Chains A and B, each alone.
Chain A
Amino acid sequence: MAAWNEAQGNEIIQRHVGREGALLPLLHDIQEGFGHVPSEAVPAIAHALNLTRAEVHGVVTFYHDFRDRPAGRHVLKLCRAEACQSMHSEALAQQVLSHFGVDWGGTTPDGRITIEATYCLGLCASGPAAMLDGQPMGRLTPESIPEIAREVGR
């Protein structure tokens, strides 16, 4: 996972050719395959869908989900929206960031974890909320930080 591989990339692209409004599902699959949307994917997608490279680039960069480089081995999304704010999520988030020594969007130097902001996980009566590798977490406290650290390994 990571570096662009033409055969694998084209296989993913071909699955979506001919589909109505194919670009978003296609990009999701590319990102699942490579961990990000490699720059080499853009001209290949543009060619297959009969779009310009600018159009594909515009879509990739519009959506917060698509990465231009791979994330760490684990991804922690911390909710920063109002319902979690009311449960003092910002103070907790600062503790989490400083524990791992990263800023929003950052990855630890050992590639262990990437921490990202998210605006609502729909866990608004169970805040502060987060998602670790797609697993929902609620009612976080400072005691949750060592648990997260254990979960993602030393």
Chain B
Amino acid sequence: MTTRIFVPRDAAARAVGADKVAAAIAETARQQGLAVELVRTGSRGLFWLETLVEVEIDGRRIGFGPVAAADVASLFAKGLPTAAHPLCVGAPEEIPFLKRQTRITFARCGIVDPLSLADWRAHGGGRGLERARKLGPAATIEEVTKSGLRGRGGAGFPTGIKWKTVADAAADRKYIVCNADEGDSGTFADRMLLEGDPFALIEGMAIAGFAVGARKGYVYVRSEYPDAIRVFGEAVRIAEREGVLGAKAGFDIELRVGAGAYVCGEETSLLESLEGKRGQVRAKPPLPAHKGLFGKPTVINNLVSLATVPAVLADGGDAYAALGMGRSRGTMPIQVAGNVRHGGLFEAAFGLTLGEIVEGIGGGTRSGRPVRAVQVGGPLGAYFPRSLFDTPFDYEAFAARDGLIGHGGVVVFDDTVDMARQARFALEFCSIESCGKCTPCRIGSVRGTETMDRIIRGERVEANLALVEDLCQTLKFGSLCALGGFTPYPVMSAIRHFPEDFRPRLQAAAE
């Protein structure tokens, strides 16, 4: 009997040698004459265990990790690996990090062969689209509205309302655009899904197209994700060949690749980029739902929002809305990153506190030093101190504490972090990535970086801090988009919550 062995092909697994592990397993099995079928999956999202090798025994999987190529000889010393091996982690779904999750959007990720339509169907793929077709467009949108699903890119706008606006707009052409320009540091949910379950996105976009009357979709992926581009491109070709996409299905998808501009994650700038222009932000209104891509009504959604839609349709909006807290319904793929012991993707209902995420799930820092600061929501998100670890993961709760959940990235820093440097970096990053259209962002970020340099050098610290605060007000209220508008979050939170990192310079200057 052939034994199936699963090795991730996710970039984060390949980054620590998964390809070498897979090659070593194939070679060892050949030498030993073992009947082995090697399946390359996405990642389960337990990155400290990568490369996580899973062996199917009697229909159940047993995990081994972290496996390096050099470990393969000992794994196969007595034939197929057994639970007695020291790297054995047992059944993956019993590992607390996975067991505590509620996997809806990422239900198949790390389990299936991402390029097998048969695997996708066997694990529930296609049920959402099928039900949408039975319900009809209006009831499909109603189902999405009922689910309470909100934009997972960070803005949190209700997906159903966006779809209804586009459905109600009269036009000869409409578009579905997937924003997979996942530039926030600390986030990798889009990448994992593109590499681990691309058909979930294809199904979600097909449902969106059916619901609003669009026949064409674009997926805009950043160029920093070559693996995701390769896998998703292949998935689109397979879907076309098998009739999941194409003329008969009434929906086409084209993959487009960004060119290294962070600001293109902003929706209007992304649309400009898709049109072949500089990725400069558009003033709103008009909303993309009225005048989007090529001036046509456009649904532009984050990848995670779109990939969640099949599950919402398959199991009903009410089931999804039953999870979560307040106005944040359903689940969020929280990405635990940075200096953290157990880093990875943790999909859970909204409502976990930041402390539970960082300490309980992440297990504290990888360095073993105390956690000092946590940046939530990417480079435009606020830095939280331990004293705010009781903040529940929820759009409104984070906003109430001058922060944002963004795309769900949580970056942990230990006590060696210098928050004045982090504040400076936020402004510098804004100056590197500004599209240049509005003055506060284009010039304010440069002046802000220079002013932070003076503070770090100990020059007129109090006056310069007042200047930075003033500048942040201008950025916040005078910028066209979130790049300039949200850069004050990391800057001001660093100053407010970690004044001691700015104060030594105050004292040094006084002496």
The verdict on A103 contacting chain B, using a C-beta distance below 8 Å, is no
Do A124 and B337 touch across chains, with their CB atoms under 8 A apart?
A: yes
Given A62-B278, A63-B279, A64-B260, the answer on whether A83 and B186 have CB atoms closer than 8 Å is yes
Chain A residues in 8 Å Cβ range of B50 = 126
Tell me the complex Cα distance, A65–B223, Å.
8
Chain A residues in 8 Å Cβ range of B338 = 82-83, 86-87, 124-125, 127
Chain B residues in 8 Å Cβ range of A127 = 337-338
Chain A contact residues: helix, strand, loop or mixed = loop
Tell me the complex Cα distance, A146–B487, Å.
38
- The contact string, 1 if C-beta is below 8 Å from chain A, for chain B 257-275, is 1111110000000000111
Given A24-B276, A82-B422, the answer on whether A123 and B11 have CB atoms closer than 8 Å is yes
Do A63 and B15 touch across chains, with their CB atoms under 8 A apart?
A: no
Chain A positions 34-91 with a Cβ under 8 Å from a chain B Cβ: 49, 55, 58-59, 62-66, 77, 81-88
Chain A residues in 8 Å Cβ range of B278 = 58-59, 62
Chain A residues in 8 Å Cβ range of B262 = 119
Tell me how many residue pairs across A and B have CB atoms closer than 8 Å.
Answer: 155
Do A129 and B224 touch across chains, with their CB atoms under 8 A apart?
A: no
Given A86-B414, A87-B338, A119-B429, the answer on whether A125 and B12 have CB atoms closer than 8 Å is yes
Do B409 and A124 touch across chains, with their CB atoms under 8 A apart?
A: yes
What number of A residues sit within 8 Å (CB to CB) of B?
Answer: 44
- Neighbour of A124 across the interface among B187, B225, B226, B433, CB < 8 A: B187
For the complex formed, measure the closest distance between the CB of B446 and the CB atoms of chain A, giving whole angstroms: 17
Tell me the complex Cα distance, A66–B379, Å.
24
Binds A, one of B102-110, B134-142, B339-347, B352-360: B339-347
| 7 closest Cβ pairs, A-B complex | A125-B343, A23-B276, A138-B15, A81-B185, A63-B259, A64-B260, A124-B337
Binding site for B on A (CB under 8 A): 20-25, 27-28, 49, 55, 58-59, 62-66, 77, 81-88, 118-127, 129, 131, 134-139
Q: List 20 A-B contacts (CB under 8 A).
A: A24-B273, A28-B257, A58-B278, A62-B279, A63-B258, A63-B261, A64-B261, A85-B422, A87-B366, A120-B184, A122-B190, A124-B187, A124-B335, A125-B12, A125-B340, A129-B15, A136-B11, A136-B14, A136-B15, A138-B16
